[in-house]
Amino acid sequence: MTEAPPFPEADLMHIVDLLPAAERARYLEIRAFLQSTVRQASIGYWNREEFPFGLLAEMGKHGLGTLQTDGTSKLFKGLMYVEVARADVSLSALVGIHNELIVGMIDALGSEEQKQRWLPGLTTFTQLGAFALTEPEHGSDIAGGLETSARLEGGEWVINGAKRWIGSGTIADFALVWARDAADGHIKGFIVETDRPGYRATKIANKIGLRIMQNADIVLDNVRIPASNMLPGATDFSKANDLLRDSRAWVGWQGAGIQLAAFDVARAYSLARRQFGKELACFQLVQQQLAEILGNASASLALMAQLARIQTDGKLEMAQAAMAKSTCTRLARASVAMGRSLLGGNGISSDYEMGKLFGDAEILYTYEGSYEINSLIVGRAVTGKSAFV
């Protein structure tokens, strides 16, 4: 019997074929750029915990800063998140946060003046914002526990507090800071330029994953900003709920993308590496692991494609977003662990990429609501009983 050649595409369920022709052509062009330019180059930056400004500029030229505003479909935007994660998870985190939370918040909740001031630079990646919500003592309970304060004084807002794990906090042009108004107790959104006196950002180093992303501890010490820097549409935290829900769902796309990356690396390695006189790909246990990684990735892609349809219909709820995020990142963790095992000792080295993916998968499992918290959100939806609030 003649052996079949390897399947040419990892997308066995033809999810990409659901895109209209123009979007599919753009998708293929950007995917080729990410694989040829970003994927290998990112390894050195990841090892050094260094930010690749040159790569970001190239990504801007390919329109990856406009995904929130360019009018393309939810499926196209999601598949772009997949492909950036497939090339590098850190940069996919930046692209996702940038589109979903920075551009999205200013576009949906900002004033016309704020949109004109910031959106042109943001959509080309010539400017960056940081989304400053999480605090040193408040992560999952941030909505109720947020301590950063803002008070209106003489036509200016005075902001005091601390934020933690803030992506791009050391390199952004501004931080979108969430603070509690001392006058009415409501959590509101403020644009805080990072060159304001009293703003200090310190890089968080020695992470096991997302090492390219410049996460920061931020201190806000009597930072004064004009009254006009408050987002007029963000006068209450509930106004941001839809965008935060969509952001949670976005991590599910990342979970699918890192699994495709794990499959790409594992398949290539198994075909190139020889042990006991033949390619690793000839061994049953190796084929089983490859099939399981691809099965997990395909299930994640199918789940996210359905979620994109629900989003398009305006029916997405937080429980669905939480289920997508928790499921895809759980499968990602399992898939990357199998990939690391398949590479043996080489699987622990970022030189072979799988060690890099292994570390990054842990971050996907934890941020934008930990796996456990998202599971409890789903549990609350299906039982009507809350396990935590």
The torsion angles phi and psi of 333, rounded to 5 degrees, stand at -60, -45
pLDDT of residue 144: 78
The torsion angles phi and psi of 382, rounded to 5 degrees, stand at -90, -15
Mean pLDDT of 72-94: 97
pLDDT of residue 240: 78
Mean pLDDT of 308-318: 94
pLDDT of residue 241: 81
Who contacts 333 (Cβ-Cβ below 8 Å, separation ≥6)? Answer: 361, 362, 364, 365
Q: Mean pLDDT of all residues in the chain?
A: 94
pLDDT of residue 103: 96
pTM for this one? 0.94
Mean pLDDT of 267-271: 95
> Is 138 within 8 Å of 94 (Cβ atoms)?
no
Write the CA distances from 243 to 71, 194, 262, 324, 362, integer angstroms. Answer: 16, 23, 29, 16, 24
pLDDT-derived band at 321 (thresholds 50, 70, 90) equals very high
CA 172, CA 213: separation in Å to the nearest integer? 12
pLDDT-derived band at 6 (thresholds 50, 70, 90) equals low
Structure tokens at 257: 């993308």
What letter represents residue 185's amino acid?
G
Domains of the chain are 16-123 (1.10.540.10), 129-236 (2.40.110.10), 239-383 (1.20.140.10)
Residue 228 has pLDDT above 50, yes or no: yes
Residue 348 has pLDDT above 50, yes or no: yes
Q: What percent of the chain has pLDDT over 70?
A: 98
pLDDT per residue over 9-67, tens digit each? 888 889 999 999 999 999 999 999 999 999 999 999 999 999 999 999 999 999 999 99
pLDDT of residue 4: 58
pLDDT per residue over 360-379, tens digit each? 999 999 988 889 999 999 99
pLDDT of residue 247: 84
pLDDT-derived band at 1 (thresholds 50, 70, 90) equals very low
Mean pLDDT of 80-104: 96
Mean pLDDT of 315-327: 94
How would you classify the pairing of strands 174-181 and 149-153?
parallel
pLDDT per residue over 97-128, tens digit each? 999 999 999 999 999 999 999 999 999 999 99
Mean pLDDT of 213-234: 97
Residue 239 has pLDDT above 80, yes or no: no
pLDDT of residue 245: 87
Mean pLDDT of 70-82: 96
